[in-house]
Structure 1
Amino acid sequence: MLLAIIGLFSLYSTTVLIEGEGIRMTVMQLIWYIIGTGVAATVMLFDSEQLWKITDYLYWIGIIVLILTLIFYDRGLAATAGAKRWVKIPIINFMLQPSEFVKFPYILILAKTTTLHNAKYLNRTVKSDFLLLGKLISWSILPLALIMLQPDLGTTLVYAAILGGVILMSGIQWK
């Protein structure tokens, strides 16, 4: 909570000199904090079994959203910055980066895959570890490729770091 407050003050102080932007951007950030807190609280109401049931759907919806981003990106921003990763919501004149929202189902699909694999293969072998590694990489190829097409190296590296973290925590034996 303290970090959120510090972030709001920092955002306001760096944008206050831009006419009308200081308040608008700070209020938008506060709204996103509230939405994020609400989503986190809602997700915490579910147990892993309930989440696993919808994980595949969320993942594929995320993939569709990433594909649609390549079609419906903001043309003005793409012309100036070369980025096709932002979608403009015209009603509220708001820019949205869908790849940020796809991180949640991406993490869920990797966690589900790891959990189910480890439950099935209680006696770990090199073969079972390589099988898990292959599964994790196969779930990662499509979102990584779609994000690279936007092009967005920073978000691609974040997704790769998530994959690396899951691999490290998955119990794969490296000896």
Structure 2
Amino acid sequence: MKMLFAETPAPKLNLTKKLLLLNWPFLLLVTAIALVGAGALYSVAGGALDPWASRHVVRFCFGLALLFAVAFSDIRWWLRGAYPLYLVALFLMLLVPLIGVESGGARRWLGYGEFSFQPSEMMKIALVLALARYYQWLPPEKIWRPDALVPPVLMIGLPLLLALAQPDLGTAMLFAVIGGGLLFLAGVSWFYFGAVIVGVVVALPHAWEKLHDYQRERVLTFIDPERDPLGSGYHILQSKIAIGSGGFAGKGFMQGTQAQLNFLPEKHTDFIFTMFAEEMGFIGAVALLALYLLTLVFITYMALRCRSTFARLVAAGMGLCLFTYVFINVAMVTGLVPVVGVPLPLVSYGGTSMLTMIVGLGFVLNAHVNRRVTFRREEAGTLW
């Protein structure tokens, strides 16, 4: 059935008014975090802009252009296009095992020539938009009904299973946390979350048997890193040594021995927080985490001010994505969770992950700019 949308009367916003409505302190926070990343990558390269710091800055500037484009776009476009975007992202993920590019034993990228990207990154945004659209039209009295959970569970489960097949446990975890978090924020009963937790516990023995050898090794290494100090436990042991050696005030910019002498692996991507903590110490690490925390406070504030369910859940979903990235990365490098290969947002080197995060933050600003807009269904019928 055709779905028509109409918004409550609201003044038309020209570009000048949109610029005034933009949350500029939030943008300054995002820029500050990206500059921390540029400085860290400059240090990792031994005081050189190439190959990482300069590209990081260029990508961030390009990402800012995308952020403004998304922030100033009509929110109704994204409401109408949420499901088509999700289907495109799902189709691209389905192509990965067929024609994807393999790297490091995993097939996660689609590429042509020198250009490559991860469809799973696009899916993180598409999943948030699709779930937000679904709950925009779901009557509150139906949220608790079991049949109302089928569509969102399928939306979450399909990309999650495809991510596990790549294999990409970190991305699968992100899908689960973001999707589950949005269901909780939408008002789904605690009973269903409890049932899922019990089901996961019961399925753990079977899931352990299905894990790849290297994934099992990561879990065992997480439990006891010293069982293989020069092999699977090397990453986390070197990370803990680097963080501990930084002390309270750190060794100083470009003075971290674990990073500069190449004892620390993946120091420009997954373990960049370790390198930063070694050089800047406890003070620097807490300051960086405080920037992330303040960013999440701003996102929460902007989400709560939105009148429509769609805008509120989009902003909250992107905030969940940022929180999950930061939490898993920091917990990973400090030995609190197994190593799963999740970058630190806006700080780690990486093109697709950075642009995805900046576009996601653009959707937060879009929700904020359009916070007074609400929608109504013109026709009753299917929720789809």
Decide: shared fold, TM above 0.5.
yes
SS in 2 for 1:84: strand
The answer to which structure, 1 or 2, has the higher relative contact order (CA under 8 A, 6+ apart) is 2
Counterpart CA distance in 2 for 1:62 and 1:125 is 26
Farther off after superposition, 99-108 or 25-34: 25-34
Q: Which residue of 1 aligns with 2:36?
A: 6
Q: Is the 8 A contact 2:143 2:187 kept in 1?
A: no
Match of 2:90 among 63, 66, 86: 63
Q: Is the 8 A contact 1:114 1:132 kept in 2?
A: no
| Identity among equivalent pairs (%) | 25
Q: CA RMSD in A?
A: 2.3
Whether 1:157 and 2:178 are equivalent positions in the alignment is no
Counterpart CA distance in 1 for 2:77 and 2:122 is 20
With the length of structure 2 as denominator, give the TM-score of the two structures: 0.39
Whether 1:115 and 2:125 are equivalent positions in the alignment is no
Evaluate the alpha carbon distance shift between residue 6 and residue 41 of structure 1 in structure 2; reply closer, same or farther with a 3 A threshold: same
Superposed, 1:19-34 pairs within 5 Å as 23-34=50-61
> May I ask how many residue pairs the two structures share in their alignment?
161
Whether 1:147 and 2:174 are equivalent positions in the alignment is no
Evaluate the alpha carbon distance shift between residue 27 and residue 95 of structure 1 in structure 2; reply closer, same or farther with a 3 A threshold: farther
Counterpart CA distance in 2 for 1:5 and 1:31 is 12
If each structure's helix is expressed as a fraction of its own residues, which one has the higher value? 1
Counterpart CA distance in 2 for 1:154 and 1:44 is 28
Q: Is the 8 A contact 1:16 1:23 kept in 2?
A: no
Q: 2:65 is matched by which residue type in structure 1?
A: G
Counterpart CA distance in 1 for 2:38 and 2:129 is 29
Q: Which residue of 2 aligns with 1:171?
A: 187
Unaligned runs of 5+ in 2: 1-30, 192-384
Counterpart CA distance in 2 for 1:15 and 1:95 is 24
Whether 1:97 and 2:118 are equivalent positions in the alignment is yes
Deviations 1:13-72 (A, max 9, x none): 11348xx8x513223322332233222222222343221111111111101111122222
With the length of structure 1 as denominator, give the TM-score of the two structures: 0.80
Counterpart CA distance in 2 for 1:131 and 1:29 is 45
Q: Which runs of 4+ in 1 moved over 3 A?
A: 122-126
Deviations 1:131-175 (A, max 9, x none): 332221011122111111110000110111101110111022437
Q: Which residue of 2 aligns with 1:44?
A: 71
Whether 1:82 and 2:100 are equivalent positions in the alignment is no
SS in 1 for 2:52: helix
